């Protein structure tokens, strides 16, 4: 067994019924998630989240608040991996989703309601709920 850590963010804009979030998607399997990734050597969790979100979405972002940690298990040849992902509520400061890297085929702003339908995993829907709550508290 091995434990790994990752960090990412839920980038929001707008408020109330007009709240939008950024989703990253792969056309090959129809997966939609929030951007996240693993730390580079010497990076803090916050630095990892900012870098990964910038690379995967094309947006320059800032952290508003931590919104929680989720975990899941997966298998690689010869071992089971327990992954912990730290998520942050983020706001865009510049950039454009057209500048995203090639890890995902599609990066787009969607309404919170559309995000709830599009997200591929329940843990991401839970992070969406936490982000909405945190965004309301920060407003």
Q: In this structure, what CATH number is given to the domain that contains residue 110?
A: 3.90.79.10
Quick: pLDDT tens for 78-113: 999 999 999 999 999 999 999 999 889 999 999 999
For residue 102, the enclosing domain spans 2-138
For residue 108, which phi and psi values (nearest 5 degrees)?
-150, 155
CA distance 48 to 50: 6
Split at pLDDT 50, 70, 90, the class of 52 is: very high
Contact, 93 vs 15, CB < 8 A? no
Report the chain's mean pLDDT, rounded to a whole number: 95
Q: Is the pLDDT of residue 122 over 90?
A: yes
Torsion, CA 85, CA 86, CA 90, CA 95, rounded to 10: -50
What is the enclosing helix (H) or strand (E) of 77? none
Output the pLDDT for position 17: 86
CA distance 138 to 12: 12
Counts for the chain of helices (H) and strands (E), in that order: 3, 7
Mean pLDDT (whole number) for 60-89: 96
Domain count, the chain: 1
Q: Is the pLDDT of residue 28 over 80?
A: yes
Query: Going by DSSP bridges, is the β-strand pair 31-33/59-76 parallel, antiparallel, or unpaired?
Result: unpaired
Output the pLDDT for position 138: 84
Output the pLDDT for position 112: 95
């Amino acid at each position: 067994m091995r434990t790994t850590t990752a960090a990412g963010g839920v980038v929001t804009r707008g408020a109330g019924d007009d709240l939008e979030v950024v989703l990253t998607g792969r056309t090959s399997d129809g997966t939609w998630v929030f951007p996240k990734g693993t730390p580079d050597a010497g990076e803090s969790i916050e630095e990892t989240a900012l870098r990964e979100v910038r690379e995967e979405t094309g947006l320059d972002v800032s952290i508003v608040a931590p919104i929680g940690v989720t975990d899941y298990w997966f298998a690689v040849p010869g071992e089971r991996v327990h992954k912990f992902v730290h998520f942050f509520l983020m706001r865009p400061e510049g950039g454009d989703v057209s500048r995203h890297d090639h890890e995902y085929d599609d990066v787009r702003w969607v309404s919170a309601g559309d995000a709830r339908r599009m997200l591929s995993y329940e843990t991401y829907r839970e992070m969406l709920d936490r982000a909405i709550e945190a965004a309301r508290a920060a407003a």
